[in-house]
């Protein structure tokens, strides 16, 4: 992979970067729409909080299950063909929304989401290491920040666009009637059928777009890189497996907790706003506010890393800020009137988490997969597997929210950021497991 990596750098990376930017835009378009799907399915399919967060579980569990098969697929067919296959998997998953909507069967929706997640796991396994190796490792966090901008811009657009297509001004009264069981029997069933079938047209269009973009990849000039399994460029020639790289293993755990904290701050914010008396039409803006804060974080990363501040020091700062904001969500209260809405102050700290979360991901990847040599591909697969944190933590949050209240549920953020601080200040420096207890040099 060393020779190919040099070729990519020398011949210019404008086309690969543009293509990767498009892919990260698609990641955001498909992923962050879950923020509106969760409360929408909760109403239309009559779900509890815990059941509604199975959307995130079905979507992101594919990263855990499919990342290793995705790595093997990329080794066999190459990264470029792998990207095509990933996009086609996503197209098939979005197409499953049509029979799911016609039958109002939550299980089929979850199957479709898992299929989309499978496609995304292939794309993520290809795209993330590509962004890291396409230039100097010292500026990898900057390139990841650029990709993050593409992802979060799509994330801002997706919930608002989806809500504009499926929600009507009269829905607030309808949702209230359903919530209070003011309608029953055949009339209620007909209304719920009408609600859920609104997703058919947007997902049919999305399916067609994903399929066509997959076909287009075939004609785009994109350097194909190998999996890296034959590369012996690592200085750690005594390592026998990826398990011998503690900074990688702990980095994967850090990614798990990071994406868990990120998804909770975005996918739960609408329900939290509704608890404060806002209806879905009003609350739909909060995921976009959180993602706008993430955009600010990415801009800071592009401007400051590595010229003003190193990616290591930036990671230390943002993990600390994330912990402070998480504590504020739990303990800071007060009436706030902002953007025409009356809310508790705590929800704005939840939105502000977008700033540190934007830079945590960019900081962890280069620290975790550097100097892996022939284990680079498998190490990258392990990092992508860790994205399953998106699957488990929202369900845990939902269980806490059902039992103790939506605000108390955010206590799950505390251990996430405590571990992220550990990795930022110490874990990434551990080259051998024996150093973990004795201290690094």
Q: Domain 2-219+241-430 is classified in which CATH homologous superfamily?
A: MFS general substrate transporter like domains (1.20.1250.20)
Domain ranges of the chain: 2-219+241-430
State the distance between the two ends of the chain, measured CA to CA, in whole angstroms: 30
Helices 140-166 and 286-304: crossing angle in degrees, nearest 10, is 160
Q: Give me 321's structure tokens.
A: 């800020």
Mean pLDDT, range 247-270, rounded to an integer: 93
Q: What is the pLDDT of residues 106-121, one digit of tens each?
A: 899 999 999 999 998 8
* CA atoms of 300 and 142, how far apart (whole Å): 9
Q: Confidence band (pLDDT; 50, 70, 90) for 7?
A: very low
The pLDDT score that the predictor gives to residue 223 is 60
Decide which of 285 and 374 is more confident: 285
Q: Which of 94-98, 118-122, 152-156, 365-369 has the lowest mean pLDDT?
A: 152-156
Q: Above 80 in pLDDT, residue 271?
A: yes
Tokens matching residue 314: 């930036």
How far apart CA 272 and CA 278 sit, in angstroms, is: 9
Q: What is the Cα–Cα distance from 279 to 134, expressed in whole angstroms?
A: 45
Give the Cα separation of 136 and 148 in Å (integer): 18
pLDDT at 184: 79
Lowest mean pLDDT among 24-38, 282-296, 398-412, 418-432: 24-38
Q: How far apart are CA 90 and CA 111, in angstroms?
A: 12
Which residue from 383, 394, 120, 381 is spatially nearest to 262, judged by alpha carbons? 394
Q: What is d(CA 172, CA 195) in angstroms, rounded to the nearest whole number?
A: 12
Q: How far apart are CA 285 and CA 280, in angstroms?
A: 9
- At a CB cut-off of 8 Å and minimum separation 6, what does 183 contact? 177, 191
Query: What is the arithmetic mean of pLDDT over 256-281?
Result: 91
| 65/133 Cα distance (integer angstroms) | 25
Token pair recorded at residue 411: 């206590």
d(CA 436, CA 423): 11
pLDDT band for 357, please (50, 70, 90 cuts): very high
**Confidence class of residue 128 from pLDDT cuts 50, 70 and 90?**
confident
The whole-number pLDDT of residue 409 equals 95
Joined together, the tokens standing for residue 166 give: 């499926």
What is the model's pLDDT at position 112? Answer: 93
Residue 399 burial (C-beta neighbours within 10 Å; 0-12, 13-18, 19+):
middle
Residue 76: partners with Cβ closer than 8 Å, 6 or more residues away: none
Give the residue among 431, 439, 417, 434 at the shortest CA–CA distance from 247. 431
State the Cα–Cα distance between residues 80 and 63, nearest whole angstrom: 19
Tens digit of each residue's pLDDT (9 = 90 or more) over 296-325: 988 888 888 878 998 899 999 999 999 999
Highest mean pLDDT among 21-30, 89-98, 229-238: 89-98
Dihedrals phi, psi of 340, to nearest 5 degrees: 75, 10
* Token representation of residue 409: 């549920």
Mean pLDDT of 61-78: 83
How sure is the predictor about 438, in pLDDT bands with cuts at 50, 70 and 90?
A: low
Distance CA 366, CA 225 (A): 18
Count the residues in the chain: 441
Q: How many CA atoms lie within 13 A of 17 on its CB side?
A: 19
Q: How confident is the model at residue 334 (pLDDT cuts 50, 70, 90)?
A: very high
Q: Looking at residue 234, what is its pLDDT?
A: 52
Q: Is the pLDDT of residue 16 over 80?
A: no
């Amino acid at each position: 992979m060393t020779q190919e990596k040099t070729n990519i750098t020398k011949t210019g990376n404008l086309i690969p970067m543009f293509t990767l930017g498009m892919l990260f835009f698609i990641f955001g378009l498909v992923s962050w729409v879950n923020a509106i799907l969760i409360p929408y399915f909760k109403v239309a399919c009559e779900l509890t909080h815990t059941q509604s967060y199975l959307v995130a579980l079905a979507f992101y569990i594919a990263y855990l299950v499919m990342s290793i098969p995705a790595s093997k697929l990329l080794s066999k067919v190459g990264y470029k063909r792998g990207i095509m296959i990933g996009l086609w998997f996503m197209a098939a998953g979005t197409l499953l929304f049509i029979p799911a909507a016609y039958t109002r069967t939550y299980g089929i929706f979850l199957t479709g989401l898992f299929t989309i997640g499978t496609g995304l796991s292939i794309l993520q396994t290809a795209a993330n290491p590509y962004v890291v190796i396409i230039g100097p490792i010292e500026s990898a966090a900057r390139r990841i920040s650029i990709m993050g901008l593409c992802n979060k811009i799509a994330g801002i657009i997706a919930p608002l666009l989806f809500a504009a297509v499926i929600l009507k001004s009269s829905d607030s009264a309808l949702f209230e009637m359903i919530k209070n069981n003011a309608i029953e029997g055949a009339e209620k069933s007909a209304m719920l059928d009408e609600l859920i079938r609104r997703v058919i047209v947007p997902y049919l269009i999305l399916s067609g777009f994903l399929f066509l973009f997959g076909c287009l990849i075939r004609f785009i000039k994109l350097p194909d890189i190998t999996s890296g399994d034959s590369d012996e460029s690592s200085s750690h020639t005594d390592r026998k497996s990826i398990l011998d790289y503690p900074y990688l293993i702990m980095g994967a755990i850090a990614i798990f907790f990071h994406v868990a904290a990120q998804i909770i701050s975005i996918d739960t914010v609408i329900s939290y706003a509704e608890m404060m008396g806002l209806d879905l039409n009003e609350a739909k803006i909060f995921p976009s506010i959180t993602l706008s804060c993430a955009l600010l974080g990415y801009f800071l990363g592009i401007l400051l890393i590595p010229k003003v501040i190193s990616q290591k020091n930036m990671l230390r700062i943002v993990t600390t800020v994330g912990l402070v904001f998480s504590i504020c969500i739990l303990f800071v209260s007060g009436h706030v009137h902002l953007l025409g809405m009356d809310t508790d102050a705590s929800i704005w700290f939840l939105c502000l988490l977008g700033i540190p979360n934007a830079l945590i991901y960019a900081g962890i990847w280069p620290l975790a997969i550097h100097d892996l040599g022939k284990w680079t591909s498998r190490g990258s697969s392990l990092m992508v597997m860790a994205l399953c944190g998106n699957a488990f933590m929202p369900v845990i949050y939902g269980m806490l929210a059902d039992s103790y209240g939506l605000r108390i549920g955010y206590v799950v953020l505390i251990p996430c950021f405590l571990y992220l601080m550990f990795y930022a200040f110490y874990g990434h420096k551990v080259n051998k497991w024996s150093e973990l207890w004795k201290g690094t040099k």
